[in-house]
Amino acid sequence: MASFRTLDQAEAAGKTALVRVDFNVPMQDGRVTDDTRLRAALPTITKLRDMGAKVVLLAHFDRPKGERVPSMSLKPVVEPLAKLIGAPVRFGEDCIGEEAKAAIADTPAGGVCLLENLRFHKGEEKNDPAFAKALAELGDLYVNDAFSAAHRAHASTEGVAHLLPAYAGESMRRELEALDAALGNPQRPVLGIVGGSKVSTKLELLENLVAKLDRLAIGGGMANTFLHAQGHDVGGSLCEKDLADTARKIMDKAKAKGCELLLPVDVVVATEVKPGAEAVVRGLDGMGADEKILDAGPKSVERLIAAMDASKTLIWNGPLGVFEVPPFDKATVDAAKHAAQLAKAGKIVAVAGGGDTVSALHHAGVAGDFTFVSTAGGAFLEWMEGKALPGVEALKA
Ligand code: ADP
Ligand code: MG
């Protein structure tokens, strides 16, 4: 991996550090209902405070689209954050200009100050150089700890990084290291699992992965498109028939690149997607017109588990079935439990990400046993697509 600058290289004593964090937390009636993202920022905040820096937090919340929208203020974050840190957190009513400067001036060395929603200014999402400069004026160094926002070239994720000495924060560093171990520079053999509903949302991802992985298991609704492309009748299943050619191209590319594709060899079908619906295990043929494939079958899972046992690295995005509706969660849960066991025993590096994938791993009760679970959503997917993330590029040494 082209290496990136970390806090260990930063000289922060007596300096003011601008730290881009992801505080886009779930909020209800002006109260933070889940502080996971606040806690994720603590290692960086603590490290900088211990180094003797003044910590100025930059964040966005929701989509105010360049307007000052009072209901999208970051102020409700101050109290829960101060509690977690165990020290007061000052608040700047604006993220640039005099109000920001006054709040920062009022913050002692080793203290913490949070500035108001970056997206109250149009310049943030436009990566306007003047806005980036106004941010840079507030500090001596810049730290990006928001991997989840790194796929966007905004002023606070990209522009400002070119105006100050720039470093990856601790969460950013951990995420980049995990992603590098999973796909950048993995121990081989490396197995991928891609599931989810549609091929169309994951074309670039599939194309990138078949070029890099030793094996790729395709599951979920998107596997139906591949089965259809191979000439199987998928009945009433979710299937993007217009993408049959694309699916064949991906299969050809896999072959050319030496990536073994694992498509389902059996499936679980039902006529209705409802909890406790009667689920029938079928081979790939003989589907009724009203039957839908809703999960991978037991033989497919067995083969996937054998592939995990034969791998040193696993990268996973997308559930294998409609995991929200039991019993169609079975393949996903069984596979997740096995991967977690291998990871816990140190036999495999297991990295997973994606909104529904994270929910599915929690549902299976094993998210904590994976080597790393990315909650970065869009940034994680773009990284899996092999794209350069502007917020990460700007931190490269
Ligand atoms: P992620 O958010 O982890 O990237 P996706 O959004 O691509 O994952 O896919 C998750 C969705 O795919 C889930 O809502 C799940 O119900 C759906 N899904 C999985 N298998 C099937 C299937 N066989 N038929 C229809 N939908 C499916
Ligand atoms: Mg999703």
Convert the pLDDT of each residue in 95-146 to its tens digit.
Answer: 999 999 999 999 999 999 999 999 999 999 999 999 999 999 999 999 999 9
| Full 3-state SS string of the chain | CCCECEHHHCCCCCCEEEEECCCCCCEECCEECCCHHHHHCHHHHHHHHHCCCEEEEECCCCCCCCCCCHHHCCHHHHHHHHHHHCCCEEEECCCCHHHHHHHHHCCCCCCEEEECCHHHCHHHHHCCHHHHHHHHCCCCEEEECCHHHCCCCCCCCCHHHHCCCEEECHHHHHHHHHHHHHHHCCCCCEEEEECCCCCCCCHHHHHHHHHHCCEEEECHHHHHHHHHHCCCCCCCCCCCHHHHHHHHHHHHHHHHHCCEEECCCCEEEECCCCCCCCCEEECCCCCCCCCEEEEECHHHHHHHHHHHHCCCEEEEECCCCCCCCCCCCHHHHHHHHHHHHHHHCCCCEEEEECHHHHHHHHHCCCHHHCCEEECCCHHHHHHHCCCCCHHHHCCEC
Residue 293 alpha carbon, nearest atom of ligand 1: 23
Residue finishing a domain among 172, 205, 234: 172
Convert the pLDDT of each residue in 237-250 to its tens digit.
Answer: 999 999 999 999 99
| Structural domain boundaries, residue 99 | 7-172
In the reported structure, the alpha carbon of residue 294 is separated from the centroid of ligand 1 by a whole-number distance in angstroms of: 10
**Residues recognised as catalytic:** 37, 198, 355, 378
**pLDDT band at residue 2 under the 50/70/90 scheme:** low
Convert the pLDDT of each residue in 276-316 to its tens digit.
Answer: 899 999 999 889 999 999 999 999 999 999 999 999 999 99
Residue finishing a domain among 172, 199, 216: 172
One domain for residues 336 and 280: yes
Ligand nearest the Cα of residue 356 is 1
| Total domain count, the chain | 2
239 Cβ closer than 6 Å to some ligand 1 atom? no
One domain for residues 15 and 162: yes
In the reported structure, the alpha carbon of residue 378 is separated from the centroid of ligand 2 by a whole-number distance in angstroms of: 10
One domain for residues 90 and 219: no
Q: What is the CATH number of the domain that holds 193?
A: 3.40.50.1260
Residue 198 alpha carbon, nearest atom of ligand 1: 7
Res 117: pLDDT: 98
Looking at ligand 1, which residue's alpha carbon is closest to its atom 22? 221
One domain for residues 239 and 376: yes
One domain for residues 116 and 240: no
192 Cβ closer than 6 Å to some ligand 1 atom? no
Convert the pLDDT of each residue in 262-279 to its tens digit.
Answer: 999 999 999 999 998 999
61 part of a folded domain: yes
**Mean local confidence (pLDDT), 324-336:** 98
In the reported structure, the alpha carbon of residue 373 is separated from the centroid of ligand 1 by a whole-number distance in angstroms of: 18
pLDDT at 1 over 60: no
Mean pLDDT of the chain: 97
Convert the pLDDT of each residue in 11-29 to its tens digit.
Answer: 999 999 999 999 999 999 9
Residues lying with their CB under 5 A of ligand 2, a single-atom ion: 355-356
Is the pTM higher than 0.85? The answer reads yes
Res 98: pLDDT: 98
**Mean local confidence (pLDDT), 187-205:** 95
One domain for residues 148 and 237: no
117 part of a folded domain: yes
One domain for residues 110 and 230: no
Res 3: pLDDT: 86
